[in-house]
Amino acid sequence: MANSTGGDADQGSVTDSGSTATETDESGEGEAATTVAAADIPGETRGFDDVHTEQPLATTEWLAERLEEGGLHEQGIVLLDVSENLPSSELTPYAEAHIPQAQYLEWSEEFTAPNTREFISAEEFTELGQSLGINEDSTVVLYGDNNNWFAAYASWVFNLYGVEDVVLLDGGLHKWELHDERELVEEVPAVPPGNFAAKPQNHDIRAFQPEVLEIAERNAEAGGDAVAAVNLVDIRSAQEHDGEVGVDPDIFQGEGAAVWGHIPGSVNVTWTQIVDEQTGEFLPAEEIRSIYEAAGVDFENPIIAYCRIGERASHTWFALSQILGEEVKVYDGSWSAWGNSVGVPVANNSGERAGLWGQSGD
């Protein structure tokens, strides 16, 4: 299992690996090798007290009022645009115009480490936060395109490193620009450095492959039924979940996975089901809860959400953790790790041998 050592707030590191290099195979066919790669991820277990918040969403009306009052920094607010800027987006990219007083955060470069599938260190995150003007008592307001897809990802990462007051602008840029038709500006704000200090990663909101593997193996042994006392929520499209495609070809062209399907025992609730089609805002909390209950989520048990690399799963994490107040982790390795890992169990509803592995290449 991938767990930090010790109890609450105990610093340590997670080893993203199995416990041994080889184990005796009870079938008598020799030794079984552990295939999950070993990687120490520094962090601690802090629980959910500094993650859950009473007001996780800010309305566009609230933000407009704050802007009318003057400088956001003087009001203790840091406004960040975290967008993907797909060519197909109907929204204005930050470089052309943006919500007044917003800074831009390039997620793919600024909080991910180069040449490794991991985030930057706590020390580097401290530098990033301070460069954005974040103080210990700041309210960080995040928004983006595509129904706050990557803004929610940033929210999860900011919570991972202990930013205590992180909210999403409900509806994101779509609500502000298209639905409300509010002002965009070209001016890029200058802010003084902040005094924020990042904490080690909170591993209570992040799942690693060995933890998920233990759950998946129990479910696989039960024929794919969700017998482990942990909910696995696959938020990808139904076609991805069923194994008909590896990734959504309309969004992730050129990417692939060796094996297609889903983690055994997971339920499929596409992330777009929990937002209003017209405004991009989250649906009411009880409506969100009923959608997941109808899909088979047992809210008496903890939840692990996954997708392709963790970004869409973070949108679900925000809904379940921040809006509903549940104990939720993101498995950010997600299908890009699971679908390319040797030996892990995969469930496939397509009836085909789906994926790149074992195909002729014709």
| Cβ contact 279:175 at 8 Å | yes
How many CB atoms lie under 10 A from the CB of residue 7? 8
How many CB atoms lie under 10 A from the CB of residue 136? 13
- What is the torsional sign of CA 316, 322, 327, 329? positive
Cβ contacts of 300 within 8 Å, gap of 6 or more: none
| Cβ contact 310:318 at 8 Å | no
DSSP SS3 for 141 = strand
- How far apart, in Å, are the Cα atoms of 39 and each of 2, 80, 106, 263, 341? 10, 31, 26, 22, 15
Annotated catalytic residues are 307
Q: Is 153 left (phi over 0), alpha (psi -120 to 50) or beta?
A: alpha
Helix (H) or strand (E) holding 240: helix 238-242
Half-sphere exposure of 260 (CA within 13 A, CB side): 25
Question: Cα 322 to chain center, whole Å?
Answer: 12
How many CB atoms lie under 10 A from the CB of residue 72? 22
